[in-house]
Amino acid sequence: MNASSTEWSAEDERAILDSIETWVEKEVRPQARHFDQADEYPHALVEQMKELGLFGATIGQAWGGLGLSSSIYARIVIKVASAWMAPSGIFNSHLIMASAIERFGTEAQKAEFLPRMARGEFRGGIGLTEPNAGSDLQAIRTVARRDGDDYVVNGAKTWITNSANGHGILLLVKTDPQAQPRHKGMSLFIAEKGPGFVVSAKMKKLGYKAIDSCELSFDNYRVPASRLVGGEEGKGFAQVASGLELGRINVAARGCGIAQGALELATRYAQERSAFGKAICEHQAIQLKLAQMVTKVEAAKLLIEQAARKYDADERCDLEAAMAKYFGSEAGVFCANEAMRIFGGYSYSTEYEIERYYRDAMLMCIGEGTNEILQTIIAKQWIARNKV
């Protein structure tokens, strides 16, 4: 089992999944359209997520979390995203931060942050991307310079999820901007909000509404040296890179959830809507779409399960996680797109839910490594494992 996950009985896992399903159907699905269209942060849902234990879903039980396996966690994410993808970002980015602290943090850092994170009292995110550097993270320019017991941080981040409504982020910086290779000069900090940590603008987005994705600026922000993850400079890039597999399984689940939700909406509509004297699901053109959609949803679930099982067993899963993320996110785009066609003109109406899936889906192809980069990773890993 992976460090933080705990053996749960199949019965316990079923009970957890049932309680999430009840919450999704009772609270998330009915309110999704309101929060999405108003672009309003769902504070009430966040309080419910705390009660459900979602902020501690994958944090070890020793720290007050549920210690769920990534396999069960992925099923939770698929369920939430099948109703509305955006709220999964509130606990997803938070749990990636927690996972880095749990795996690489000092004992003092774990004791200080993980119990509060598990309760959702401290909610976080990940601060990697900068205006000039997304895929090429080693090109970041934010710098932290040691000054007594603190580091002084200057620079800017962009697109940082949970940064307006959260309490802090995992912050990737350069502690040695001249280092060669570049990654040796990179470090991660647990950056709590305080003077000099400025949320400078909320990004205006196509989809993924209601969730805060912001530009941040750091203007002589002082972070105590005790917040350097693991207590040693130069490890930040490797720490981020080793969290990518879990992050990719999570994004795959979000894409798969969008695909499943779009399929569910389209399946219902295709039986209710008639054209030329019969339900549109009886027209072969619509059947072909439904067949392709359901096959992709099921295939995405299998790829996610394969990657998650390997991750939970502490086996190497870089190829599997990349394939799951690539396929799951593309399945989300494909199914949302095809569902739009099945809904015909009504797909374009904001009175219907499907347009939200269409707007939300593309993001899953961008986050945690763009699908272009992921395809190159898949190919390289595949060749490396099949050398002649």
Q: How far is the CB of 168 from ligand FAD (least distance, A)?
A: 13
Among 37, 362, 41, which residue's Cα sits nearest to residue 211?
A: 41
168 touches ligand FAD by CB under 6 A: no
363 touches ligand FAD by CB under 6 A: yes
Tokens at residue 63, please?
């720290």
Q: What are phi and psi of 57, to 5 degrees?
A: -50, -45
Catalytic: which of 130, 330, 338, 368?
368
166 touches ligand FAD by CB under 6 A: no
The packing angle between helices 244-272 and 86-104, to 10°, is 160
126 touches ligand FAD by CB under 6 A: yes
366 touches ligand FAD by CB under 6 A: yes
> How far is the C-alpha of 76 from the C-alpha of 78, rounded, in Å?
5
Torsion, Cα 136 138 143 145, to 10 degrees, reads 170
93 touches ligand FAD by CB under 6 A: yes
Choice between 209 and 235, CB closer to ligand FAD: 209
Q: How far is the CB of 188 from ligand FAD (least distance, A)?
A: 12
Q: Are 174 and 141 in contact (CB under 8 A)?
A: yes
Question: Which 203-222 positions form the footprint of ligand FAD (CB under 6 A)?
Answer: 205, 208, 213
381 touches ligand FAD by CB under 6 A: no
140 touches ligand FAD by CB under 6 A: no
> In this chain, which stretch among 30-38, 46-54, 123-131, 261-269 interacts with ligand FAD, using CB under 6 A?
123-131
Q: How far is the CB of 224 from ligand FAD (least distance, A)?
A: 22
Q: Are 311 and 317 in contact (CB under 8 A)?
A: yes
Q: How far is the CB of 56 from ligand FAD (least distance, A)?
A: 19
> In this chain, which stretch among 12-20, 101-109, 128-136, 345-353 interacts with ligand FAD, using CB under 6 A?
128-136
Q: What are phi and psi of 224, to 5 degrees?
A: -60, 145
DSSP string, 119-155: HTSS-EEEE--BTTBSS-GGG---EEEEETTEEEEEE
Among 259, 265, 257, 264, which residue's Cα sits nearest to residue 346?
A: 265
Choice between 15 and 201, CB closer to ligand FAD: 201
Choice between 71 and 93, CB closer to ligand FAD: 93
159 touches ligand FAD by CB under 6 A: yes
Three-class secondary structure of residue 199 per DSSP: strand
> In this chain, which stretch among 26-34, 158-166, 231-239, 285-293 interacts with ligand FAD, using CB under 6 A?
158-166
Choice between 71 and 142, CB closer to ligand FAD: 142
Choice between 60 and 166, CB closer to ligand FAD: 166
> How far is the C-alpha of 46 from the C-alpha of 49, rounded, in Å?
5
> How far is the C-alpha of 252 from the C-alpha of 297, rounded, in Å?
11
60 touches ligand FAD by CB under 6 A: no
128 touches ligand FAD by CB under 6 A: yes
Question: How many positions of this chain bind ligand FAD (CB under 6 A)?
Answer: 21
Among the residues of the chain, which ranges form H helices? 10-23, 29-38, 43-52, 70-83, 86-104, 107-119, 236-242, 244-272, 284-312, 318-342, 354-361, 371-385
Q: Please tell me whether the peptide bond between 181 and the residue prior to it is cis, using omega within 30 degrees of 0.
A: yes
> In Å, how far from its chain's centre is CA 47?
19
135 touches ligand FAD by CB under 6 A: yes
* Catalytic annotation present for 13: no
Q: How far is the CB of 3 from ligand FAD (least distance, A)?
A: 23
372 touches ligand FAD by CB under 6 A: yes
Residues that bind ligand FAD (CB under 6 A): 93, 125-129, 134-135, 159-161, 205, 208, 213, 363, 366-367, 370, 372-373, 376
Catalytic positions are 368
